[in-house]
A and B are shown apart, each in its own frame.
Chain A
Amino acid sequence: MPSALINVPKKAKRGDIIEIKTLMSHIMETGYRHTASGDVVPRDIITSFTCRFNGTEVFRADLFPAIAANPFITFFTTVTESGKFEFEWIGDKGFSETAQASITVE
Chain B
Amino acid sequence: MKIALCIAFVTTMASVAFATEIPQSERRSGYSFMSADTKAMQDEDTANPGMLFVLDGETLWKRKAGSADKACADCHNDARVSMKGIAAHYPAFEKALGRPVDLEGRINLCRTNHQQASPFAYESRELLALSAYVAQQSRGVPIAAGDDPELAPFVEKGRELFMQRQGQLNLGCTNCHDDNWDKKLAGSAITQGQPTGYPLYRLEWQSLGSLQRRLRACITGIRAQAYDYGSPELVELELYLKSRARGMPIETPAVRP
Contact status A70-B52, CB under 8 Å: yes
Encoded as 1 (CB less than 8 Å from any A CB) or 0, chain B from 13 to 49 comes to 0000000000000000000000000000100111111
Most A CB atoms within 10 A — which of B45, B49, B203, B206?
B49
Bound-state Cα–Cα, A68 to B206, Å: 7
B47 — which chain A residues lie within 8 A by C-beta? 5, 7, 21, 23, 72
- Across the interface, B46 reaches (CB within 8 A) one of A1, A6, A68, A69, namely A6
- Across the interface, B207 reaches (CB within 8 A) one of A1, A23, A69, A72, namely A69
| Contact A3 B52, CB 8 Å, known A23-B46, A23-B47, A72-B47 | yes
Q: Within 8 Å of chain B (Cβ to Cβ): is A46?
A: no
Shortest CB–CB separation between residue A43 and chain B, in angstroms? 15
Q: Which residues of B contact A (CB under 8 A)?
A: 41, 44-49, 51-52, 55-56, 59, 125, 129, 203, 206-207
A-B contact pairs, 27 of them (CB 8 A): A3-B52, A5-B46, A5-B51, A5-B52, A5-B55, A6-B46, A7-B44, A7-B46, A7-B47, A21-B46, A23-B46, A23-B47, A23-B48, A23-B49, A23-B51, A23-B52, A25-B52, A25-B55, A25-B56, A27-B206, A28-B206, A68-B203, A68-B206, A69-B207, A70-B49, A70-B52, A72-B47
Bound-state Cα–Cα, A17 to B52, Å: 27
Contact status A1-B56, CB under 8 Å: yes
Bound-state Cα–Cα, A52 to B221, Å: 47
A68 — which chain B residues lie within 8 A by C-beta? 203, 206
A28 — which chain B residues lie within 8 A by C-beta? 206
Bound-state Cα–Cα, A91 to B52, Å: 18
Most A CB atoms within 10 A — which of B45, B47, B56, B203?
B47
* Total residue contacts A-B, CB cutoff 8 A: 43
Shortest Cβ distance from A68 into B: residue: B206
B55 — which chain A residues lie within 8 A by C-beta? 3, 5, 25
Shortest CB–CB separation between residue B164 and chain A, in angstroms? 30
B207 — which chain A residues lie within 8 A by C-beta? 69
Contact status B46-A70, CB under 8 Å: no
Shortest CB–CB separation between residue B57 and chain A, in angstroms? 10
Q: A1-B59, A6-B46, A23-B49 are known; give 17 further A-B pairs, CB within 8 A.
A: A1-B56, A1-B129, A3-B52, A5-B45, A5-B51, A21-B44, A21-B46, A23-B46, A23-B47, A23-B52, A25-B52, A25-B56, A28-B206, A68-B203, A69-B207, A70-B52, A72-B49
Bound-state Cα–Cα, A28 to B203, Å: 13
Bound-state Cα–Cα, A7 to B59, Å: 20
Bound-state Cα–Cα, A5 to B206, Å: 17
- Across the interface, A1 reaches (CB within 8 A) one of B41, B125, B206, namely B125
Shortest CB–CB separation between residue A20 and chain B, in angstroms? 10
Encoded as 1 (CB less than 8 Å from any B CB) or 0, chain A from 11 to 47 comes to 0000000000101010110000000000000000000
Shortest CB–CB separation between residue B215 and chain A, in angstroms? 22
B206 — which chain A residues lie within 8 A by C-beta? 27-28, 68-70
Bound-state Cα–Cα, A3 to B58, Å: 11
